Amino acid sequence: MAIPMDQRDGWIWFDGELKPWKDAKIHVLTHGLHYASCVFEGERAYGGEIFRSREHTERLIQSGKTLDFTIPYSVDEIEAAKRLVLEKNGPVDAYVRPVAWRGSEELSVPARKNTVHLAIASWVWPSYFSVEEKLKGIRLEWSKWKRPSPETIPCKAKAAGLYMICTLSKDAAMANGYADALMLDYRGYVAEATGANVFFIKGDEIHTPDPDCFLNGLTRQTVIALAKANGYKVVERHIMPEELANFDECFLTGTAAEVTPVSLIGEFTFKPGKGCETLINAYAEAVTPKKVAAE
């Protein structure tokens, strides 16, 4: 049985200082808990180095600004704190979670007087999907929830509240025997999985939904560049669900998912092949720290 997150050993950077893991606590009346005034990042360290670390930190700060609060630490200070957490906790291959939220001074919808806090944790967290699942491709069902219009949510922020329908969708999918769920957007276009972007392959072309109402993942951006470098034409566009019948391969991308092939989405089937294999290998090479030869 997995150890509950609040009962683990280790260290968490909390508002400027390292605290023993079990002492990193907040009050039950914290604004971020009740009103979702909370932003976070999901990052992976490979060989002790966080992949695209600075870009994650910059996005964290921008997400806070989108939710109308300023994280009281600079990019450089957050970068140093992440390195300290990794060093203190030990594992060189780890998941890193910075999270910022409004505190508990007042509990009402407005929160301008509430202190903004920042914590950073790291722990060993394998990919969302097992090696066996990756090799055969995971199975997805359609979510009943849709990604809302950008006029109704701050869709460019990695904000905690936006993941509520993701949790509902993934829990329902797993209860039905699937690994994940694929969401449409408010217009009926294909959007994303619950914690990962989606790509489709046909020959030497890769098609992926235009992220105009959901997060343009950093892993997504990395894989697009890798696909182009490996000779694929990448098309970002609106994709209707019935178009999935025209594609041969499908895969998800995300910090946790990395590159994960898909074998089924609802009534549509795919066969993981050369395209998925190429990008799995290219991504694995990209995230592996390059050793600098001694002079």
Which residues belong to the active site? 158
- Provide the terminal-to-terminal Cα distance of the chain, rounded to the nearest Å: 48
Could you write out the DSSP letters of every residue in the chain?
-PPPGGG--SEEEETTEEEEGGG----TT-HHHHH--EEE--EEEETTEETTHHHHHHHHHHHHHHTT---SS-HHHHHHHHHHHHHHH--SSEEEEEEEEE-SS--SS--TTSPEEEEEEEE----SS-HHHHHH-EEEEEEEEEEPPTTTS-TTS-BGGGGHHHHHHHHHHHHTT-SEEEEEETTS-EEEESSSEEEEEETTEEEEE--SSS---HHHHHHHHHHHHTT-EEEEE---GGGGGG-SEEEEEETTTEEEEEEEETTEE----HHHHHHHHHHHHHHSPPPPPP-
Phi (first) and psi of residue 56, to 5 degrees = -60, -45
Amino acid 117 reads H
Written as six digits, the tokens of 92 are 């060189």
**Backbone region of residue 101 per phi and psi (left: phi > 0; alpha: psi in -120 to 50; beta: other values):** beta
Written as six digits, the tokens of 38 are 């909370």
